[in-house]
Structure 1
Amino acid sequence: MNIGELFLHATSASARDAAYAFADAGIPVFPCLPDGKRPLTPAGFHDATTELTIVRSWWATWPRANLGMPTGAASGFDVIDVDTGDMGTGFTALESARKAGLLDGEAARVRTPSGGLHIYYPTDPDGDQRCWQSAFAHIDFRGEGGYIIVPPSTVRGIAYRLSVLRAGAQHPVDATALRELIDPRPPQTPNPRDAIHHADPDRLARWVLHLQEGERNHGLFWASCRLVEAGYSPTAIETTLGSAAASVGLSAREIASTIRSASRQGAPQTATTSPTWNEPRASTRRESDAPWLA
């Protein structure tokens, strides 16, 4: 019995009977809070097992428990978790992934109580794919180190239910490609020491184009000073850097004022001066240290 058939069976079974069926099929399970997502066993999804004696004892203790399944190598399945709610929906990003050809090879789809979606894929036999979260795209990936709640479990009285059962060829999803498509990393701000020692106008303009809020005025001033040192007039500097500065949000007035200040400052006082830049932080919307649950 494959995962889709197990879900089909679960639509007419209790969570306890579904747990027995999963364990009998070689897919480890564990009990979660009735009508909730929190594991009831001490080590959570790490306690998941296919040992029927243990599974029976759990559901004898918690007969109304929801059914949890670890993702990754333990179960043999990775899951794309599409969220939807007041903060936004992941279905827009999902459609982009579909158009990019990144969703082929799925085994099944399960509709979640919130109206979201779980898309199941076989794990990659050549390497573990770790869990990640994109709050920006409202899509999570549940792989190694995560777990999900499976049918016929309920949350707020609404059941997880099979939506689509695929009969064709199945293969792992490329979680790295999916993440880069729906939630690409922000560009790194170049180090001025690496990029600008010879007052190359094009490189200076490209550098200004990557300035972030809080560093734009200072960065434009510093780049303008480099061009002053190279003999550029204020008009020539504005022609060289003005478009890039406007693209990062500086007004025409700010640009003109900053360039005039750099021209008045002059080369002798700025030749050894360079701004101190902090290394850009990793985007917090892509990281989470919390356990992965659905």
Structure 2
Amino acid sequence: MRSQAAAHDERIGIVVMMPDRGAVSSVLLHVDPSWSLSAAAREFARSGVPVFPCAPNGKRPITAQGFHDATTDLRQIEAWWDQIPNANIGLPTGAASGAVVVDVDVHGPVNGYEALERSRRAGVLGAWELTTRSPSGGTHLFYPATPGTEQRSWQAARAGIDFRGDGGYIVVPPSRRVIDGQQRRYGLDQVNTGPATGLDARRLRDFLDPRPVIPPPESRGVGRSPDVSELAARVASLREGERNLGLFKAACRLAENGTPPADALAELGAAAGQAGLGQREITRTVRSAYDNVGRFGPRYRASMSPQQSTDAAEHRPSHPPVYRGM
């Protein structure tokens, strides 16, 4: 669903018609901080955009199946927000909503805005519809999803940029979080008054963080080299009760085929986060898988801090599961 939007240019006193927008961008253009979270959630649903509740002041889905529970059913949405009026608004990305998002973040020494500027200069960003700011100082760039083309979510942690596509979700305005003891809102930041273009997510990822080449497995009974995209997609779709084991098995596949631990975290981290696992849990599970496989042996363990080694040992299953494929 696409619609036209209008903006008032105060400098010349006229109304400027903007190009057609996707349903997500159209709602974001007129939802402002004065709206209640319940009213905004209903507005998305009325526009054909499925939503679901996330934890108040947080990003974690609070329904049983996470973003898989997203709906446009107004009665269900009213029931959710009647029960928890301050629940944040989650929105599935990709084909489900018609929008994909480039998520720019700043954490520690990693500045996603630097990578964003490099991507812009290289011509791999395209033209977004609009951007929103996040409470933590990041930015979300919204693009129209490409009809008939699946683009899975991924994470380029070393660049400070994530892509939220099929199998992912984003938190949208007027949701809020508590940062450094202060409540801060997601909000509209910039609007592109020109035509938007689709985003080639694979091209962007290859530019930011070329994917590792997985070497052929050694002759010790290991099957074919894993399809990393397929592994990540399976991890992203895991449900509660199977997430840790599923991530453990996927990480074992990468470890068996010689993928360095840092690359495994980059490949599977975003997918596991979309499934609902926390970053500490993801890191511990991947470390446990590598410790269990033992491919990196003393060299891998020597690269870990004493606390990391302890974490891995504590998290390692007492009887590692027997599995075939994935």
Query: Does the pair score TM above 0.5?
Result: yes
CA drift at 1:171: 2.4
1:16 is aligned to 2:42: no
Report 1:198-277 matches (<5 A). none
Counterpart code for 2:159: A
CA drift at 1:189: 7.6
CA distance in 1, matches of 2:83, 2:128: 35
> What residue number does 1:202 align with?
none
1:291 is aligned to 2:313: no
Q: Which TM-score applies when normalising by structure 1? A: 0.66
> What residue number does 1:89 align with?
111
CA drift at 1:133: 0.5
1:115 is aligned to 2:95: no
Evaluate the alpha carbon distance shift between residue 188 and residue 47 of structure 1 in structure 2; reply closer, same or farther with a 3 A threshold. Answer: closer
1:40 is aligned to 2:20: no
CA distance in 1, matches of 2:77, 2:62: 12
- Secondary structure of the residue aligned to 2:140 is strand
Counterpart code for 1:15: L
Report 1:55-204 matches (<5 A). 55-156=77-178, 157-186=183-212
CA drift at 1:188: 6.9
Structure 1 residue ranges without an equivalent (≥5) = 192-277
| 8 Å CA contact 1:34, 1:64 repeated in 2 | yes
Counterpart code for 1:132: W
Structure 2 residue ranges without an equivalent (≥5) = 4-22, 218-255, 277-326
| 8 Å CA contact 1:4, 1:165 repeated in 2 | no
CA drift at 1:169: 1.6
CA drift at 1:186: 4.5
- 1:68-116 residue CA offsets vs partner (Å, 9 max, x unmatched): 1001111011111111122421111111110111222311101111101
Look at both structures and tell me which one has the larger radius of gyration over its CA atoms.
Answer: 1
- Secondary structure of the residue aligned to 1:290 is helix
| 8 Å CA contact 2:89, 2:175 repeated in 1 | yes
| 8 Å CA contact 1:32, 1:65 repeated in 2 | yes
Counterpart code for 1:67: I
Counterpart code for 2:187: R
Q: Which TM-score applies when normalising by structure 2? A: 0.60
CA drift at 1:177: 0.5
Counterpart code for 1:286: A
Evaluate the alpha carbon distance shift between residue 96 and residue 51 of structure 1 in structure 2; reply closer, same or farther with a 3 A threshold. Answer: same
Aligned length: 208
CA drift at 1:145: 0.5
- Secondary structure of the residue aligned to 2:103 is strand
CA distance in 1, matches of 2:273, 2:45: 23
Counterpart code for 1:290: A
CA drift at 1:121: 0.7
Pairwise CA RMSD of aligned residues?
2.3
- 1:7-26 residue CA offsets vs partner (Å, 9 max, x unmatched): 23222311111001100000
- Secondary structure of the residue aligned to 2:60 is coil
> What residue number does 1:195 align with?
none
Counterpart code for 2:31: A
| 8 Å CA contact 1:85, 1:114 repeated in 2 | no
CA distance in 1, matches of 2:158, 2:128: 24
Calculate percent identity across the aligned residue pairs.
Answer: 46
| Higher RCO (Cα < 8 Å, 6 or more apart) | 1
Identify the range of structure 1 (115-124 vs 82-91) with the bigger mean alpha-carbon deviation: 82-91
CA drift at 1:43: 0.8
| 8 Å CA contact 1:137, 1:182 repeated in 2 | yes
CA distance in 1, matches of 2:127, 2:45: 24
CA distance in 2, matches of 1:118, 1:139: 10
Identify the range of structure 1 (163-172 vs 105-114) with the bigger mean alpha-carbon deviation: 163-172
